[in-house]
Structure 1
């Protein structure tokens, strides 16, 4: 029996990177995984690979910035699996993210960015939490970042917002036995990070206590714990998985 045996877990942004690692890792622990992403081609490949490896997976196309799209996802998942036990809000605009200052970034781009990277977590939570409550409770894990504690423009601002959202939702949903926590990855070796950071990633490693870039798989253990019954009295927490990049009292 896996640590997530028969739990139905929705993972947004699961077509690649850390989201893909989450989906495959949860399936290996017995979960029925919903691979939710706008990238149909890559998302379906992830779901098919999970199935080929003996797991259970369903691909669903979703735009996390759209309440209608989120509601359609919930309907499809409940029709297929009968309910939902957990949600990982991992989807984000990152690999193709524009660089700019808060005081100069194009306003329409800023609003689009925030609609996915910040509002998307709330949109998905609002759509999914009633189904989690019907199961007697469960867990929501938001994807934050150590960028929330460092200067990183509107990306860091969105992640700071995710931290606050996590703590507020933990109180709003705690009475329904729904726990809400977040994971804050440090510099992680994904295609998106290589696109954004390039050679600068080597400099990031110098400031880490563990002198290597993170791997997507490094995040899976913490996320599995937060989704499992092992963390039944853990909520409102931001868990840094960052090789010692950040230190907070």
Structure 2
């Protein structure tokens, strides 16, 4: 019976997070009330308060979920530049298909920029990107004079801007295309010319298969 109660409690908790995600995705943190969450979750306020003491706790939980996309990076054999490209497409896919990802990213941007500035989520993304770029640089896939952490910071800032612009202009319908553009423009400036053909801006074959993506890459023309 105890296990059955635990399972019911977890089902309720997930329903609350789903309801909160819908509300935050639609209205943002400031305009969302706990009554909105209860309505979308189909639970009572008592059940909500049993699992989450405040709206802030709900928001923090959804924001923390955004880092699950990078959980498998340490398990990747020889993470590198293609890993970073694939992670960008995985996040783009999540933004297009998963309301909890969309809500979490919206909350990260609101908290990180306006509501209560907190660099922690951005720093975590930068750390994940750096964990791919540093070994790539050691292998000669990133130009040796570049600072890998500065590059990671730039790439995360670029992706953040790309996804926001795509959201405004096309409800993220073109997001994967814009991610391909990002890498097509960036690769010639960070990768030795003879190494560029080894990387696919539209994602590795394994990534495209997992996400159901076509090969969107256009030719990358090396500079110089």
Report if TM-score (shorter chain) is over 0.5. Answer: no
- Name the structure where helix makes up a greater proportion of residues: 2
TM-score (norm 1): 0.29
Whose radius of gyration is greater, 1 or 2?
A: 2
Give the structure with the larger strand fraction.
1
Scaled by the length of structure 2, the TM-score of the pair is 0.31
